[in-house]
């Protein structure tokens, strides 16, 4: 495998700083189909361009690979971007890079959300609101300054991800095929978890047995077979349509919408 | 006191800036603390704005866009709390409640945007496949522009044009329709996962997908960390197993080779 590795251009400190600032656009193309994927890729492109240099075909493949479902915390995004940039720079295998990205975005989003939304925001909001309620301009002013600082923190966060990646690389290096396999194992496990937590289908229909007793189809039937069985089934149906029938994703989005509104109207969902 | 046309336009312009900021989660000027203060300043009642900012910020402290969910819109809540308090003479605390329909309607508009913007992903893929990264960048930024447009129109109409009309509109939207959109939002990630699986899933990884799914179903935790740890453990086990296999194979090959070499020498005799 070692012989397949291609020479890639190196990223400078400035490139990583730029990557940290560009992470602002992580949510610019937000949509339900693949969440932040488009904005994420938009932020990654300048770094990828430099890494791949004249290798246009390699660049297109790398950009394509980035356009996959991703949804992470916005302050954790530059960490993952820096990490991915270091892996790309070292010419790691595509499946290793993609497996790691897919596996990591969820857990670091959990950590990022816990820190930014559930720790920093309540503290900052609580303290500044006490000033504001008395009509003091200090409240909004301090609030603003804290979040400008938070924005600037994206730069060191991106550098942190980049250096963490560089250190991990030598280890990954030795057995890239095995690492790719292990990364796919991790990735697929996490996707299984993502399906269970992100896709929500709840049947609200109840069967009236007697005037005082009714059976909820969701609670008494589906939940007794297996929780989240409908999200898993629907995801596999879509997977099957995409893989075996080559159905266009847009068709599936429209189909999903149509079904959701139809079932809502019928009172099933 | 009524809002003048100039004030309406100024607030709409600010709503565009705050709207883009909320879309990207950049500088947190979308939080009620800042939105109320600026709105208060624009309509000539800074002190009211600051006080309303403190109150509304606390009221919205728990309503955060974590994990791609969309809370009632903090920008419209902030703007309308100040505008309603200013025009009707209600206290800011009461105005928060009255601003809620505007905030919820904007939340639906953003949710609708998340769904609609899924349509752009196909075009984005096409541009990347052709290596037209400039056009790709434009289509990634297009949602941000459209969202900005939605904010300008909606905030101007709410503040200046048709406060009453907006309120009726919120109350007259059939619940099955708004509920249908909510449901579709819950199911659409399945399309993203389907696409992800199309490129990642091989038959030998299905067990891991099921393990991750089952783990997430039964481990009740705020984020996917437990599933990621299980995935990492499985990856670790697989790594060790594959590596051992590789070493054994290498030994066998070496033995075969040395045997062949011996054979060759014998022939030579």
Chain-chain contact of B23 with A28 (C-beta, under 8 angstroms): yes
Q: Is the pLDDT of residue A256 over 80?
A: yes
Label residue B141 exposed, middle or buried (CB < 10 Å: 0-12, 13-18, 19+): middle
Chain-chain contact of A189 with B211 (C-beta, under 8 angstroms): yes
Instruction: Let me know how long chain B is.
Output: 269
Inform me whether the C-beta atom of residue A119 falls under 8 Å from chain B C-beta atoms.
no
Mutation site for A-interface testing, chosen from B139, B197, B205 by largest number of A Cβ within 10 Å: B197
Asked whether the CA dihedral A41, A45, A47, A51 is positive or negative, the reply is positive
d(CA A92, CA A169): 8
Inform me whether the C-beta atom of residue A56 falls under 8 Å from chain B C-beta atoms.
yes
Closest Cα in chain B, distance from residue A211 (Å):
25
Domain ranges in chain A are 2-195, 201-266
Nearest by CB: A136 against B50, B61, B239: B50
Q: Checking phi first, is residue A235 left (phi over 0); if not, alpha (psi -120 to 50) or beta?
A: alpha
Question: Cα angle vertex A218, ends A217, A219, to 5°?
Answer: 100
pLDDT tens, A89-124?
Answer: 988 888 889 988 988 888 788 778 777 887 788 778
Low-confidence ranges of chain B (pLDDT < 50): 268-269
Which spans in A90-225 are helix H?
94-115, 121-132, 138-152, 154-174, 176-198, 223-225
Run of H or E residues at A215 = strand A214-216
Q: Which pLDDT score, from 0 to 100, does residue B163 have? A: 62
CA-based nearest residue to A41, from A4, A7, A88: A88
Domain ranges in chain B are 5-199, 206-268
pLDDT tens, B21-39?
Answer: 999 999 999 999 999 999 9
d(CA B106, CA B154): 8
Distance, C-alpha B105 to centroid of its chain: 17
What does DSSP assign to residue B47? H
Inform me whether the C-beta atom of residue A185 falls under 8 Å from chain B C-beta atoms.
yes
Q: Which pLDDT score, from 0 to 100, does residue A33 have? A: 86
Chain-chain contact of A186 with B195 (C-beta, under 8 angstroms): no
Confidence of residue A25 (pLDDT cuts 50, 70, 90): very high
Coil, strand or helix at B131: coil
Q: Is the pLDDT of residue A213 over 60?
A: yes
CA-based nearest residue to A42, from A63, A17, A56, A57: A63
Inform me whether the C-beta atom of residue B26 falls under 8 Å from chain A C-beta atoms.
yes
Q: Which pLDDT score, from 0 to 100, does residue B154 have? A: 93
Chain-chain contact of B196 with A110 (C-beta, under 8 angstroms): no
**How high is the mean pLDDT of chain B?**
85
pLDDT tens, B140-174?
Answer: 999 999 999 999 999 999 898 766 665 566 567 68
CA-based nearest residue to B229, from A78, A87, A104, A15: A104
Question: Cα angle vertex A167, ends A162, A168, to 5°?
Answer: 95
């Amino acid at each position: 495998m070692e012989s397949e590795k291609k020479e890639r251009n190196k990223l400078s400190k400035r490139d990583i700083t730029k990557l940290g600032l560009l992470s602002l656009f992580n949510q610019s193309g937000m949509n339900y189909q693949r969440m932040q994927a488009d904005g994420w890729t938009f932020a990654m492109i300048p770094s990828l361009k430099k890494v791949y240099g004249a290798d246009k075909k390699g660049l297109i493949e790398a950009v394509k690979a980035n356009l996959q479902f991703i949804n992470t915390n916005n302050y954790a995004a530059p960490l993952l971007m820096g990490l991915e940039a270091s892996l790309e720079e070292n010419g790691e295998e595509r499946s290793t890079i993609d497996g790691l990205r897919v596996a990591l975005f969820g857990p670091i989003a959990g950590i990022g959300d816990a820190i930014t939304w559930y720790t920093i925001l309540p503290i900052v909001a609580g303290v500044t609101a006490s000033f504001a309620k008395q009509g003091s301009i200090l409240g909004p002013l301090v609030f603003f300054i804290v979040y400008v600082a938070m924005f600037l923190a994206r730069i060191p966060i991106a550098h942190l991800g980049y250096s963490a990646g560089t250190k991990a690389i030598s280890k990954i290096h030795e057995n890239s095929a095995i690492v790719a396999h292990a990364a796919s194992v991790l990735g697929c496990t996490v996707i299984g978890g993502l399906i269970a937590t992100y896709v929500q289908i709840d049947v609200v229909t109840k069967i009236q047995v007697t005037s005082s007793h009714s059976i909820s189809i969701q609670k008494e039937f589906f939940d007794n077979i297996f929780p989240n069985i409908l999200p898993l089934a629907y995801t596999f149906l879509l997977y099957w349509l995409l893989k075996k029938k080559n159905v266009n994703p847009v068709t599936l989005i429209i189909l999903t919408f149509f079904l959701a509104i139809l079932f809502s109207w019928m009172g099933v969902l | 006191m009524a809002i003048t046309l100039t004030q309406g336009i100024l607030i709409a312009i600010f709503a565009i800036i705050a709207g883009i900021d909320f879309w990207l989660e950049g500088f947190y000027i979308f939080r009620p603390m800042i939105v109320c203060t600026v709105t208060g300043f624009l309509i000539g009642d800074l002190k009211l704005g600051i006080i309303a900012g403190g109150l509304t910020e606390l009221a919205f402290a728990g309503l955060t866009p974590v994990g791609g969910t969309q809370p009632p819109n903090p920008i419209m809540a902030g703007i309308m709390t100040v505008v309603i308090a200013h025009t009707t003479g209600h206290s800011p605390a009461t105005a928060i409640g009255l601003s809620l329909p505007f905030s919820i309607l904007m939340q639906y508009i953003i949710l609708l945007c998340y769904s609609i913007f899924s349509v752009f992903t196909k075009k984005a893929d096409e541009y990347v496949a052709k290596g037209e990264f400039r056009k790709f960048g434009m289509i990634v930024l297009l949602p941000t522009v459209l969202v900005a447009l939605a904010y300008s129109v909606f905030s101007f109409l709410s503040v200046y044009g048709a406060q009453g009309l907006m309120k009726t509109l919120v109350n007259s939207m059939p619940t099955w329709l708004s509920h249908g959109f909510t449901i579709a939002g819950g199911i659409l990630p399945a399309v993203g996962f389907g696409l992800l699986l199309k490129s990642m899933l091989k038959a030998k990884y299905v067990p891991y997908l099921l393990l991750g799914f089952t783990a997430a179903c039964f481990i009740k935790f705020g984020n996917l960390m437990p599933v990621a740890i299980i995935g990492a453990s499985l990856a670790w086990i697989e790594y060790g197993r594959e590596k051992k296999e590789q070493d054994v194979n290498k030994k066998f090959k070496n033995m075969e080779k040395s045997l062949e070499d011996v054979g060759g020498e014998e022939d030579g005799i």
